[in-house]
């Protein structure tokens, strides 16, 4: 046997919990694309409206919020058009909540696949985050149409240069959902009750996030609680950029970036540790 024989593939445990083999992830990019296609196509394959549901969901939700929070509860929207205000929050919240919910069960959902074939386990949560982007882009297009209407027809909002921060805001949302989702996914391999707790917790978390209300609507003595939420800076920046009003400050976005970066690193460490032995407990 040739002593200098070189293997095309080498599977071994990671040397560090912080390790991310980007070269290997790139090598399996075809698998990532296949998973994206599966998530996007098969989910709506047997529905009547298909991808139109991407438009129906935010429109119906915005109308419900408009009635409940705008007309009944009469929550402030900082003088902004209610439809545009609620749609702004719903658009980015849907992306975050969907990505977090699906990522949090990635080990349980794909246990049968993990037990049969090797591939970088990080591919699965990444595919969820990227497939969510496809849905987000469609709903974002609807939001842009509403923004253009209120900008040029109603002339009641004034977008500004902070709209250029949109890619960075989406990156932060994806990183937050990915990091927190990997932590919950790793923990649910042993404690499956956490998946039910997370489903309930996400609903409560929405009301702790300025999705249906601005920070200014909160009593001043409680505003620090909302501002301590790492999503607050993202939502306020998004609204301020596209709607031209809000209590956004660059420092809140810096805080969000720092917090989410730490959480993502923690999620990667826990994910790398659990993936080596999760088949024994899942």
Instruction: Tell me which of 26-40, 96-110, 121-135, 159-173 is least confident.
Output: 26-40
pLDDT value, residue 160: 94
Q: Tokens in use for 244?
A: 């031209």
In a domain, 115, yes or no: yes
End-to-end CA distance of the chain: 41
Percent residues over pLDDT 70 in the chain:
79
Percent residues over pLDDT 90 in the chain:
37
pLDDT value, residue 47: 64
Residues 61-69 have a mean pLDDT of 91
Residues 106-131 have a mean pLDDT of 75
Q: Among 21, 20, 25, 97, which Cα is nearest to 58's?
A: 97
In a domain, 80, yes or no: yes
**pLDDT higher than threshold 80 for residue 54:** no
Instruction: Tell me which of 5-9, 70-74, 122-126, 169-173 is least confident.
Output: 5-9
**pLDDT higher than threshold 50 for residue 90:** yes
pLDDT value, residue 152: 94
In a domain, 260, yes or no: yes
Digit-coded pLDDT (tens) for 133-183:
888 988 999 999 999 999 999 999 999 999 999 999 999 999 999 999 888
Residue 86 near residue 65, CB atoms below 8 Å: yes
pLDDT value, residue 102: 85
In whole angstroms, give the CA distance from residue 116 to residue 101.
25
pLDDT value, residue 53: 75
In a domain, 83, yes or no: yes
**pLDDT higher than threshold 60 for residue 281:** no
Q: Among 171, 85, 180, 186, which Cα is nearest to 133's?
A: 171
Q: Does an H or E element contain 64, and which?
A: helix 53-65
Q: Tokens in use for 236?
A: 């306020």
Q: Among 95, 90, 76, which Cα is nearest to 246's?
A: 76
pTM: 0.84
Residue 102 near residue 40, CB atoms below 8 Å: no
Count other C-beta atoms under 10 Å from residue 270's C-beta: 18
In a domain, 7, yes or no: no
Domain that holds residue 185: 22-40+50-280
CA 190 to chain centre: 24
Number of domains the chain contains:
1
CA 8 to chain centre: 36
In whole angstroms, give the CA distance from residue 129 to residue 147.
26
Q: Tokens in use for 52?
A: 């139109």
Residue 213: CB partners within 8 Å, gap ≥ 6? 69, 75, 76, 77
**pLDDT higher than threshold 90 for residue 96:** yes
In whole angstroms, give the CA distance from residue 271 to residue 114.
14
Residues in the chain: 282
pLDDT value, residue 243: 94
In a domain, 93, yes or no: yes
Beta strands in the chain (DSSP E): none
In whole angstroms, give the CA distance from residue 127 to residue 135.
13
Residue 25 near residue 120, CB atoms below 8 Å: yes
Give the chain's mean pLDDT: 82
In whole angstroms, give the CA distance from residue 249 to residue 267.
27
In a domain, 3, yes or no: no
Query: Mean pLDDT highest for which of 8-17, 43-52, 95-104, 116-125?
Result: 95-104
Per-residue pLDDT band at 280 (split at 50, 70, 90)? very low
In whole angstroms, give the CA distance from residue 28 to residue 157.
45
**16 or 78: whose pLDDT is higher?**
78
In a domain, 12, yes or no: no
Instruction: Tell me which of 9-23, 25-39, 146-160, 180-194 is least confident.
Output: 9-23
pLDDT value, residue 22: 62
């Amino acid at each position: 046997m040739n002593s200098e024989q070189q293997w095309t593939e080498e599977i071994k445990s990671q040397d560090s919990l912080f390790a991310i083999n980007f070269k290997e992830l790139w090598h399996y990019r075809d698998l990532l694309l296949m998973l994206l296609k599966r998530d996007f196509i098969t989910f709506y394959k047997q529905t009547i409206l298909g991808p139109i549901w991407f438009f129906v969901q935010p429109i119906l939700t915005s109308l419900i919020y408009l009635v409940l929070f705008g007309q009944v509860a009469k929550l402030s929207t900082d003088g902004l058009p209610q439809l545009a205000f609620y749609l702004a929050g719903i658009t980015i919240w849907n992306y975050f909540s969907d990505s977090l919910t699906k990522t949090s069960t990635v080990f349980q959902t794909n246990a049968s696949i993990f037990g049969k074939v090797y591939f970088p386990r990080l591919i699965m949560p990444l595919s969820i985050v990227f497939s969510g982007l496809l849905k987000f882009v469609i709903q974002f297009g609807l939001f842009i149409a509403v923004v253009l209407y209120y900008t040029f027809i109603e002339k009641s909002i004034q977008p500004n240069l902070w709209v250029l921060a949109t890619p960075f805001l989406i990156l932060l949302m994806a990183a937050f959902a990915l990091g927190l989702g990997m932590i919950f996914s790793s923990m649910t391999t042993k404690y499956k009750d956490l998946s039910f707790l997370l489903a309930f917790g996400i609903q409560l978390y929405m009301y702790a996030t300025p999705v249906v209300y601005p920070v200014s609507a909160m009593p001043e003595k409680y505003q620090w609680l909302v501002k301590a939420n790492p999503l607050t800076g993202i939502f306020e920046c998004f609204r301020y950029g596209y709607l031209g009003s809000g209590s956004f400050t660059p420092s809140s976005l810096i805080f969000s970036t720092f917090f989410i970066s730490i959480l993502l690193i923690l999620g990667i460490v826990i994910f790398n540790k659990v993936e080596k032995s999760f088949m024994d407990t899942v």
